Amino acid sequence: MAARVIDLAAGRRTVAVMRNLYAVLPCVAAGGLVLAACSVTYGNKAVASASSYEGLKPGRATKADVYETLGQPSDVLEMEKGVLWTYRYRKAKNNLVGNIPLFGVGLIAGGKNGDVYTVLVLFDRKGVLLSRTADRRKLYTSNLASLKRSVDDMMEDNSSHRRVEAEMKKIGKPFSEEAARESRLLESSLD
């Protein structure tokens, strides 16, 4: 009789666990779909809209004007004709595979699909706008590759960070460490 009572109790627990499992599985599936729809953004959102910078006219706009319109650049490079400022923005969504938590499948096979917006602004030696160009392209980034780039990035020097900081000092504008870190994350995702 005691063995039968134990079996009935075990059976009731099994039924209760199965009921809970059936209640939890739809929630887990819905959570996975929500995660799959998550988006990630890096960089300067103003770069994604031409209306934010179309008023910057070559021959008239200065470095100060561009800074007031678009903020701190992602990178600054000395060129033969002058100085090139780079602005970037990335918006990406996780793909569905990236959210599978079992056995690292999401890390190995998952990734992000999205768009990268780039605005290049070239100034002459006097700091007057010579030209500006804009580009948008699709980009897929593997989660595993992103992880490797992040680790590699921690080991590398941060020359773009120093170039932007020096340029901001030259033109008397504030330098944002946070914007520089975000730019660095974005640039490492483009390799």
> Across 44-186, where does the E strand assignment appear?
75-78, 83-94, 111-123, 129-142
What does DSSP assign to residue 110? -
pLDDT band at residue 43 under the 50/70/90 scheme? confident
pLDDT band at residue 117 under the 50/70/90 scheme? very high
For the chain, give every domain's residue range: 1-37, 39-190
pLDDT band at residue 12 under the 50/70/90 scheme? low
Mean pLDDT of the chain: 75
Question: In Å, how far are 73, 123, 191 from 84, measured between CA atoms?
Answer: 10, 6, 20
The three-class DSSP label of residue 191 is coil
**Is 115's pLDDT higher than 50?**
yes
pLDDT band at residue 175 under the 50/70/90 scheme? very high
Q: Compute CA 151 distance to the chain's CA centroid, rounded to the nearest angstrom.
A: 16
**Is 114's pLDDT higher than 50?**
yes
Q: Give the residue-averaged pLDDT of 62-72.
A: 96
**Is 1's pLDDT higher than 70?**
no
